[in-house]
Structure formats: C-alpha cells, structure tokens
Amino acid sequence: MTARTRADLATATRIVVKVGSSSISGESSWRIPVLVEALAGAHARGAEVILVSSGAIATGIPFLRLDARPTDLATQQAAAAVGQNILVYRYQESLRPYDIVAGQVLLTTGDLENPTSRSNARRAMERLLGLRILPIVNENDTVATQEIRFGDNDRLGALVAQLIEADALVLLSDIESLYTKPPSDPTAEPIDVVAPDADLSGLEFGSTVVNSVGTGGAATKVSAARLAAASGIGVLVTSADLVEQALSGAEIGTWFEPALS
C-alpha cells in the first residue's frame, strides 16, 4: 500500500532506498554497516527492500591509485568496474550477520526505455524480491556513455521505484531535510512537507555538484522526488545518518506527498 505519510514507512511493504557516493565511499565507508542494519530491520519485519547505491566510481578511485575523480569516460568506466565489485562485497559482508543475500542489478537508461529490457529488469527484480534477496541497484557505469547516463542516482532511484511500483522512496542525503535556501544561508528554513501541486519555483536548492565524488545535490533530489510523487509514490528526503528513524516512520526530513491516483 502506498505510503501517504512518513509514519506509513514503518509498515510499507516495498521500499526503495537510495544512498549517494559521499555517504558510503572513502572515509564514509564506515556508514555501510549502519545503513545495512537499518535495511535489515525493515527486511526482518517482512518488507521488500531495494537499495539504489551510488559509489562504484568513488570506491574504485583509490584502487586505481588516482588522486581525484577522473574526468574522462574511459577511466570513469575503469574505476566503476573495480569499485562496483568492492562496493557489493562490502555490502554483502555487512549483510552476512543478518543472513541476507544481496543481488546486484546494473541498469542504463536504455534498459528502462526499451519495453523488452524494461520488462526483463522488472521480472528479475520481482523474482529477487520473491526469493527474499536484497537487490542493490546502480547505474551500469562500465558500459554507459555520456549520452545514456542517468546523470545522478536520485533519478535512478525514482525510476526504479516506478518500475517495481514501490510504496515509498527514501532519498538519503548529507543533511536532515531540504531547505528553502542553501543550508549555509542563515535565513534558510527546513521544508517539512511538499504537496504534489506545490510551487517550488521561489526556492533555492543550490548547485547540483556537492562534492568531489558525487554528482547529486538538493536540486536533483527535488526533481527525483517530484517524479516519483507524481506517480503516486511517497518520498522522504533525509540524512543517511537517520536512515533507521526514517524506516521507522519518524517525523524527520522532507516528505513529498504522493499524487492521488
């Protein structure tokens, strides 16, 4: 049943959780077990949980002995090939104590635009969920080109939520909620709830590039949240450090109300 309010996350049957590179790679890799503990809690109560995780390129960078995120596509693809393997290994090791098995799903925009491959992707994920596997979805950076890249995994999270008809989408960020202006602005105020027809044109969500490893930001989260909400999926935007509270239905973050069907 679609989550109409934050509180409904505590009992939602199918939840997509998206986490960005800056939250789980590099010096932040310690957060993976914390994230997994929260996901395992939802899984234990019977929920079907799908994790959309960025971080392949960022995770691979140090193993290629690079000082910064590469700018050319070929090296990004090489970093993704190495990093995706390590990233999924870290998730699986964290899931092991809970007796949960992860299933890797790599997608491109073409996979979700082509009816045949879209159907195949949906069938595969439905079967994984039926087997109580926890799908870990990422963009297929190893084969993606600049023309077919999702651009950010916030949008990928929204598209996956649409694909599998999720009850809710949780977009994890570096801050507790969205603000009316960049959080560094002393006049910025937290946004509690966004209605489906809300006019956000007067708000300032800042740059879409927030750090050296991630390509998301407040603007991309707003865009993705509205995309999912328009499809009747409730969306919560909050901090990765608050994921357990988020999945427990706590009154935190910014809630995008789902459009009524």
**pLDDT tens per residue, range 150-160:** 656 899 999 99
> Which CATH topology does 6-256 take?
Carbamate kinase (3.40.1160)
Task: Specify the range with the lowest mean pLDDT, choosing from 108-112, 165-169, 204-208, 228-232.
Answer: 204-208
Binding site annotation covers 185?
A: no
Residue 199 — pLDDT band, cuts 50, 70, 90? confident
pLDDT exceeds 90 at position 112: no
Q: Is 29 annotated as a binding residue?
A: no
Q: Is 141 one of the annotated binding-site residues?
A: yes
Does residue 1 register a pLDDT over 80?
Answer: no
Ligand-binding annotation for 197, yes or no, is: no
pLDDT for 70 equals 87
Q: Does residue 22 have a pLDDT over 60? A: yes
Q: Where are the domains of the chain?
A: 6-256
> According to the annotation, is 54 in a ligand binding site?
yes
Q: In this predicted structure, what is the pLDDT of residue 214?
A: 42
Q: What is the pLDDT averaged over residues 182-187?
A: 85
User: pLDDT tens for residues 210-236?
Assistant: 333 344 578 889 999 999 999 999 999
Counting residues of the chain whose pLDDT is more than 70, the rounded percentage is 92
**Is it the case that residue 176 has pLDDT exceeding 60?**
yes
Residue 24 CA to residue 30 CA, distance in Å, equals 7
What pLDDT was estimated at residue 147?
A: 53
At residue 96, what are phi and psi to the nearest 5 degrees? -55, -45
Q: Which residue has the higher pLDDT, 122 or 174?
A: 122
**Shortest CA distance to 141 belongs to which of 37, 197, 51, 61?**
61
